[in-house]
Structure 1
Amino acid sequence: MKYNFTAFLFFLLTALPLAAQQKLTLEAIWGSAFRTQDMDELHALKNANQYTVLNADYRNGIATIDLYDFKTLEKVKTLINSRDFPELNGIDDYTFSPDEKKLLIATNSEQIYRHSFTADFYIYDITSKSLTKLSDNKVQEPTFSADNSKVAYGFDNNLYVYDIAAKSTKQITTDGKRNAVINGITDWVYEEEFAFVRAYDWNATGDKIAYIRFDETEVPEFTMEYYNQGLYPVPYTFKYPKAGEKNSEVSLHIYDVKAGTDKTVNLGDTYYIPRIQWTNEAQTLSVQTLNRHQNNLNLFFIDATTGKASVIMNETDKAYIEITDNLTFLDDNSYIWTSEKDGYNHIYHYNKNGKLIRQVTQGSWEITAYYGYDKKSKNIFYQSVENGSINRDVYRIGIDGKNKVRLSLKEGTTSATFSPEYDYFIQSYASVNQSPTYTLNSSKDGKQVKEIINNNALAQKLRDYNLPQKEFMVITTDKGHQLNAWMIKPKDFDPLKKYPVLMYQYSGPGSQEVSNDWFSINDYYYFMLAQQGYIVACVDGRGTGYKGAEFKKVTYKELGKYEVEDQIDAVKVIGRYSYVDPERIGIWGWSFGGFMASNCILKGNDVFSMAIAVAPVTNWRFYDTVYTERYMQTPQENPAGYDQNSPINFAGNLKGKFLLVHGSADDNVHVQNSMLMIEALVQNNKQFDWAIYPDKNHGIYGGYTRLQLYTKMLNFIKENL
């Protein structure tokens, strides 16, 4: 046989990439080897066509706040360098005064819960370059007054006002007490489920402060123990209202800064106050209230001089209403609002008396972000899923609903930060095939003006790993439900082989895991599994977001029923693929995803052979009021909905391999969920694996914790799938 050297050389060249493929490791993934470059703490100024970015060297504790010009992208100057001020141990966060001549700078931050933290705050005068400490204590949520003369903040459950010129502090509430009364800062459940911490607001002239007072005296307490390697554990007790239990009694107050008087506003039979916001009329406050079922929303206007409250808009829903921050007041005090009331989330324009002027956007797609209104051009700027629910695009449209223009030019995930004059925007763009980029773009036609940041070096680095593709698809279940999905197959995929499959999902109400975006850190974990011969897949079932209210809210009062059905039904479809081994299909998830993984291994024990549940809810009766009752009503009203969808009640169904993981200091989903699930499994004589991480919260991180956890999960997958 004749030897063909050319053919042999071609074989070598084509085989080299596979042979030279670098293998992903957990050490590289959790050692930040694939971190992207971003624009941290990007702020567009209001009084000049400029923006600022926080540039931080976290290892050395040095940070700068740098000012850039929107048109040229050139750096104008450094506003502050922490190296010049020994008091600053780096810069954790910053906000501008309304006139943008001063900064509030946070340093030495200490996390409390998901969003809340205390910190040493300093007032920095940009002109004089002087730094003044706001308080000798670590405080919360400081905010400049509209006239730039004062700063309000929270400390030990009370509100204070600092006079910048006089350098004096006045305490404006006095009844604050831990686990009893909180003034101007949210309680645990408001912070977690209504997603805000600062429950006070300055008016437009700086003479009034509106705030919410939380009386949590009757809210039941929950105690966690911190082990801290001490001789005795240290108990931590806080107020946590579980489903059906008492919430804080909330009241609305308006403090007159000049007169030093406090006025309580009568809002009638109000249960929740999830938002307060002063309008453009200095003595008119807007307040959003909800009933306990969260399906009846009132928008009040409050006259701050008289305290009179008037309902100017009411919105109801057969299921629930989700609170957003998209309320924007225009110069004439008319307002822009987003709502799902026509079945999809859209933009509406109302006059100052709450009368609808027009629905600005409409169609069978959703608004996903509201960016702002340009009063010169009378254009509204927003982000939506009009080009497919897994994509995000940026648009502008006239407030009259006409002349809509798509400003993002590529398919994927695009977001925007607009200049104060709305002539330019900084575009953040990424897709499953494109690493994140930041560019300056024209608001006229969306065209790129100049590149700011790219991640080409990371993309080049990843070529050495020869990663597999994340393939998008739509799975149609036997019941006819069309569900977005992605799948990652081994790079050397052989359609004649049978592969094990690991399903990942979250599945919580309004969530999305199937999106055309760059890789999360978990994606690298899935690529690593694919390199080791696994197929990884993800399906967004009913209850997830961005496909309309009907698709999302079908799970109302049955949280977990349809979501679990869809995962089981999707896996039955996947299990029929010729290249899938139907006897080796596992599922995993975290938080709501852990709840789902638990239910799937129990209710789908004929299709799932393995599951990993991290920090799962195992009984909806153990979770908080605001979240659980929004989707389920109370357990007193809907006992069957709670009991038929809680994994703890189906422990006897376990057949496959099950790993249960929790942090002992999880303030969100209490370790109680896993402890009682463990007891249910034990009493049903079921064998399983479990791990408790001491003093770790819902995120289960710190030091080598994530590396150890993902190593444990990897070993469990390899041993059981």
Structure 2
Amino acid sequence: MSTRPILILIVLALFLPGRFLANLAPTPVFGQDGGEVANAPAKPIPPLSLESIYHPKQRHAYVAEAAPATRWILQSQLGEQAGAESDSSAVRLLIRRGGKWMAIDPAQAKRDGAPAETPWNGFEELVKQLVSLGGVERKQAESVVGGWVASGSRSLDSSLVRIENSLAIAGLDETPRWVSRQAAAWQDPTLSPDGSRIAFVQDNDLHVLEIESGRILRITDDGSPTRSNGRLDWVYQEEIYGRGNFKAFWWAPDSRRLALLRLDNSHVTQFTIATSDGPRGGVLVDRYPKAGDPLTHAELWVANLGDTGESRVTLLPVFTPPLADESLIVRVSWQTETGHLIFQHMNRLQSELTLWRFAPEASGGHQPTPILREQSEQWLEVTGSPRWLSGGDFLWLSDLPSGRRRLWRISGDGSRRSPLTPDGFDVRETVAVDQATQTAWLYGDSDRGTVGQHLYRVSIRPQGSVEERGAREDRAGGDQSPTSGGGAEPRLTRLTGDSPWHSVSISPNHRWMVDRSSGLTQPVRTTLRGMDPPGLGDATGAGFAKASGGWALHEEILRLPGEMLVPQWVSVPTLDGLELPGYVIRPSSGGAADGTSRRHPVLVEVYGGPLAPSVRDSWSTTRFLFHQLLASRGIGVMVVDNRSSGGRGLSDTWSIHRRVGEVETLDMIAATDWLRGQDWVNPDRLAIRGWSFGGFLTLHAMTHSDRFAAGVAGGSVTDWRNYDAIYTERYMGLPSDNAAGYDATSPVLAAKDLHGDLLLIHGEVDDNVHLANTLQMAAALQRLGTPFELMIYPGSAHGVQAGMPTYHLMRTTVDFLVRKLLPNEAVQP
């Protein structure tokens, strides 16, 4: 479970034989915000069903033509003359149309109207390069290059390309060549900034290949199953650096140094997972620190490589805390202008964070210098690395002091701080920074908080600084969190239009953006825009129809077999006066105005983890289709966020500290009270469903309230002592210091108070939330003689395997919901 805003809900569908909607003629086609925009296609559209949504062979594409891949490149990479823009920063937009890449000149479009698309030959050139290496089939090369170009983060001039067990270097400015034909064991191979070296991890040791000579330098030599160099273990990647990211080394800008983490988890308790493979089964064993257990010990070092060809490599310790310290190294980066190493570390409970600077070129004995410190009585979130500005200042995201995330400009020594965004506006992400114009672009939503997402522009010029008081010694030892600087309130300018959710890609020269906009009922629209606020809203229409907000490049079209059931946005009042964001979808057979309405069961969807909202006004095809299916069959849907997941930044999330589940369940009770007040809702047939943290909240709500007639809990934490230390202790503290809190929030210990029918689901080899969680809950219920249902998915981890296992999961869950909410397969009066 990670704290980044991720939704781990497994979306289920309803399967009711013989009761599906008949095909209607003509079939409406929906786009934009749900309005009918085209005539019916000739081919009949199948009714919504479990098969048409999830079956791997019977799935239907209700949304035609997914949004095309795009990426920005410099005009110079096209081999063109300066043309419309004479400066070296002139750009082109690449867009994939079918199997071909086309190039668009946005500056030409600005003058002459709709932008013309011309073929981009770079794709074919890169494909030919790979084929020319020998041993590479054309289809294979096309697949590799397609992913390379679409990624957007990899240079087209020169890049590493993995082809099966081999590595090559290729690019528009590169002569293609094999680097190694035996690189299967190389983990995270990374090209140095100057293109002369490749760093990689093999057998838990860091190595560097000098490309010209082919010589491999072994940087470390103590790698083992319990000691890794440049490679993260499970808990560090899951909870600190991001799921799937195991890389733990960073090239310096001059390519002469590497920073690396060295991890020792020999003292971390092993956890064994049994598998059902073969006649004798098997086991998976990994180091997994549970709440209160010893943590992985992390150290930060720098490898001095010198110039290419030098034989001597020196390792320099940067931050090597004692084993008993149990601190966490949470971010590592380099300051390009000075060549300094920048890193952040936190205490075990993640209530204190220090930003450090280290000068690797200094003589021996030099120690890192603290730049700033932040401290909270609850916990702090890692908000990313600082963005350095010319002159030594940096941009920093901080939740302190108010619990609302703001962007700050801070001097290089931490002594002067200026708030750049207003208090009360939570910055979701810093998208881009242009030092030439002193401008930053940010994601957030000043009106709807976590529900929407817009792009904003803000000046990064100091708005009113706070001079730090006290000597450097006091500053190094005290709380240096940013505080309000007074002066004029910073001003934000919204740049995106009327659609509720926007994800943008800004051109390298900061003059253009590709805007992918959507909504809960609106599939994705792709638009090319300038960087000024739109005049009359979003671009609409097909092709390149000109609109005030830009030029429409593509629009996904939704085709349904019947009328759309439009969600209703709601604001749910809590017992203490807060408003929870949510939406409901009322079943199609809802009541008439004369009072003859029939009451319907409602399924409440939850995730509810800290800072992880589920209620978003953005497009998700599967989620939308599933909810439409449920509502069309007579089961209402409610999606609602508690204050921890969808509230006002950390200021609301901190309320769960040391009592995870209690406040969230009270908020769920408030949501059910709201539902019970609706004349179309059957108050005796409310169900709740969630996965991962949502599974925990499902169980907590069913054991700490009597509001739900049924619940589906998948991949659930059933006692926080069972989950990993870094995530759990952030919110709950140590079990030894908060035994009462751990007991009070444990569904296992509250099993005797279960209300409603329960279906438990889990993957057999879940290495994140272990299967033991669900089995412990099952054992507690069995000891009490309480009936429940259980489904295990062999071979599946935290997410059930795609294909038929997922389809089976849907059938199992839907069968349970139908039996409990619609026992007669008819809407109840």
Q: Same fold (TM over 0.5)?
A: yes
Q: Deviations over 1:417-471 (max 9, x none)?
A: 1111100111111012321011111013345332222203xx2x13x33221121
**Using a 3 Å threshold, how does the CA distance of structure 1 residues 88 and 546 change in structure 2: closer, same or farther?**
farther
Letter of the structure 2 residue corresponding to residue 314 of structure 1: R
Residue 399 in structure 1 maps to residue 464 in structure 2: no
- Aligned pairs for 1:87-486 within 5 A: 88=141, 90-91=143-144, 94=148, 101-106=157-162, 121-128=167-174, 130-134=176-180, 135-178=182-225, 180-194=226-240, 195=242, 196-228=245-277, 230-258=278-306, 259-266=312-319, 268=321, 271-306=327-362, 307-341=366-400, 342-389=402-449, 390-400=451-461, 404-446=492-534, 448-456=549-557, 459=558, 461-462=559-560, 464-486=561-583
Question: Which position in structure 1 is the counterpart of 2:726?
Answer: 626
Question: Which position in structure 2 is the counterpart of 1:26?
Answer: 50
**Using a 3 Å threshold, how does the CA distance of structure 1 residues 338 and 545 change in structure 2: closer, same or farther?**
farther
Residue 41 of structure 1 deviates from its aligned partner by 7.9
Contact 1:29 1:524 in 2 (8 A): yes
Residue 70 of structure 1 deviates from its aligned partner by 5.5
In structure 2, distance between residues paired with 1:348 and 1:541: 28
Contact 1:507 1:543 in 2 (8 A): yes
Q: Pick the aligned partner of 2:127 from 81, 99, 102.
A: 81
Question: Which position in structure 1 is the counterpart of 2:662?
Answer: 561
Residue 479 of structure 1 deviates from its aligned partner by 4.0
% identical equivalent positions: 25
Letter of the structure 1 residue corresponding to residue 292 of structure 2: G
**Using a 3 Å threshold, how does the CA distance of structure 1 residues 64 and 161 change in structure 2: closer, same or farther?**
farther
Q: TM-score under structure 1 normalisation? A: 0.89
Q: TM-score under structure 2 normalisation? A: 0.78
- Aligned pairs for 1:452-531 within 5 A: 452-456=553-557, 459=558, 461-462=559-560, 464-494=561-591, 496-531=597-632
**Using a 3 Å threshold, how does the CA distance of structure 1 residues 330 and 66 change in structure 2: closer, same or farther?**
farther
Letter of the structure 2 residue corresponding to residue 388 of structure 1: R
In structure 1, distance between residues paired with 2:399 and 2:513: 27
**Using a 3 Å threshold, how does the CA distance of structure 1 residues 151 and 52 change in structure 2: closer, same or farther?**
farther
Deviates more, 1:351-360 or 1:380-389: 351-360
Residue 197 of structure 1 deviates from its aligned partner by 2.5
In structure 2, distance between residues paired with 1:275 and 1:78: 36
**Using a 3 Å threshold, how does the CA distance of structure 1 residues 330 and 207 change in structure 2: closer, same or farther?**
same
**Using a 3 Å threshold, how does the CA distance of structure 1 residues 405 and 500 change in structure 2: closer, same or farther?**
same
In structure 2, distance between residues paired with 1:660 and 1:99: 46
In structure 2, distance between residues paired with 1:657 and 1:699: 23
In structure 2, distance between residues paired with 1:667 and 1:120: 30
Residue 483 of structure 1 deviates from its aligned partner by 0.8
Deviates more, 1:364-373 or 1:164-173: 164-173
Q: How big is the alpha-carbon RMSD for the aligned residues of Structure 1 and Structure 2?
A: 2.8
Residue 653 in structure 1 maps to residue 753 in structure 2: yes
In structure 2, distance between residues paired with 1:121 and 1:474: 54
Deviates more, 1:540-549 or 1:189-198: 540-549
In structure 2, distance between residues paired with 1:174 and 1:54: 46
Residue 334 of structure 1 deviates from its aligned partner by 1.7
Specify which structure has the bigger relative contact order, considering alpha-carbon pairs within 8 angstroms and separated by 6 or more residues: 2
- Aligned pairs for 1:503-652 within 5 A: 503-545=604-646, 547-604=648-705, 606-652=706-752
Q: Deviations over 1:575-621 (max 9, x none)?
A: 122211111111000100001111112212x2111000010000100
In structure 2, distance between residues paired with 1:248 and 1:64: 48
Letter of the structure 1 residue corresponding to residue 289 of structure 2: P
In structure 1, distance between residues paired with 2:580 and 2:397: 26
Gaps of at least 5 residues in structure 1 are 1-13, 58-62, 109-118
**Using a 3 Å threshold, how does the CA distance of structure 1 residues 586 and 121 change in structure 2: closer, same or farther?**
farther
SS in 1 for 2:173: coil
Q: Deviations over 1:192-226 (max 9, x none)?
A: 11114221111111100001100011011111123
Contact 2:383 2:398 in 1 (8 A): no
**Using a 3 Å threshold, how does the CA distance of structure 1 residues 703 and 160 change in structure 2: closer, same or farther?**
same
**Using a 3 Å threshold, how does the CA distance of structure 1 residues 350 and 655 change in structure 2: closer, same or farther?**
closer
Q: Deviations over 1:519-538 (max 9, x none)?
A: 34233212111111110101
Contact 2:605 2:637 in 1 (8 A): yes
Contact 2:166 2:178 in 1 (8 A): no
Residue 713 in structure 1 maps to residue 741 in structure 2: no
Question: Which position in structure 1 is the counterpart of 2:309?
Answer: none
Contact 1:349 1:360 in 2 (8 A): yes
